[in-house]
Structure 1
Amino acid sequence: MELSIQQVAARTGLSVHTLRYYEKIGLMEPICRASNGHRSYHEHDLEWIVLLMRLRSTGMPIAEMQRFADLMRLGDAGIRSRRELLEEHEQKLLLQAKELQDTLSVLRDKVTYYRAWEAAQHQE
């Protein structure tokens, strides 16, 4: 399956500019070109883009994503470092999730308090 940059943009929700940027900064290997010179994306490119999107959506900085991409290029020799990088990111995400849960708990307590207050006002 070959896809144009516009088709990949439509499938992923990324802009054409972002796709070109990711290639330019080395997050992606150079994309194959069709005979007309246009980029021709394949399934493995799309899978990689989806992974990049997931990493980005979790707040991974571009520099860390670039490091991960560089480690991917090492093949099997980079597996341990890739795992360690992802484990570090996982720990950051777990901390953020705990902070969000703590904040949600405080908000729920406030909502409960305000509902009780409103109910008491209606009884007076």
Structure 2
Amino acid sequence: MDQMVYSVEEVAAKFQVTSRTLHYYEEIGLIPPIPRTDGGHRQYSQEIVERLDHILRIKRVLGVSLQEISAILEAENSLNELKLQYREIDSDEDKRSILLQSSVLLQSLVDSIQQKVSSLEKLKGSFEQRLDNVRDLLNQVK
């Protein structure tokens, strides 16, 4: 059975981004090189569409730069590689080493996200204070 492929226009519309954004993500390595038709048109696989969904969700939810997204994706790839290595070894010492490496990577990701959450909490607090001030003024105005 043939795998479903999507044009750049279809993918851009799905994610509400420009085709230039998709091309740029390919250029900087966030997504792998996209296969092209004989006519040179990009053909996005379901796997690439899912990766783009993941990238754009990270960007939207965490509000991070493309460089930070790249670092997150690299950490995720490293974690997947460590998981495969863990399954293939028998030595408790080697398993422990892999688990420690995984722990360090995951803690780094958690710390990065926590920094973003803290920044958002501060921003939220600032807006809540302004909202309280506006409500106080509203109660004073008849």
Where on the TM-score scale, by shorter chain, does this alignment land: which range?
0.7 to 0.9
From 105, 110, 122, the equivalent of 2:133 is 110
Distance 1:90 1:72, change over 3 A: closer
RMSD of Structure 2 on Structure 1 (CA): 2.3
In structure 2, the residue matched to 1:99 is 122
TM-score normalised over the length of structure 2: 0.70
TM-score normalised over the length of structure 1: 0.78
* Residues 7-47 of structure 1, C-alpha deviations (whole Å, 9 max, x = no match): 11111111111111111111111112234332111122111
In structure 1, the residue matched to 2:109 is 86
Do the aligned partners of 1:60 and 1:89 also contact (CA within 8 Å) in 2? no
State the identity as a percent: 24
Matched residue SS, 1:11: helix
The 4+ residue runs of structure 1 with deviation greater than 6 A are none
- Which runs of no fewer than 5 residues in structure 1 stay unpaired? 120-124
From 51, 54, 57, the equivalent of 2:57 is 54
TM-aligned CA deviation for residue 64 of structure 1: 1.8
TM-aligned CA deviation for residue 82 of structure 1: 5.7
Distance 1:61 1:85 in 2: 16
| Matched letter for residue 3 of structure 1 | Y
| Matched letter for residue 121 of structure 2 | K
Distance 1:54 1:30, change over 3 A: same
- Give the total of aligned pairs: 119
Greater CA drift, 4-13 or 92-101: 92-101
1:22 lines up with 2:45 in the alignment: no
Distance 1:25 1:35 in 2: 24
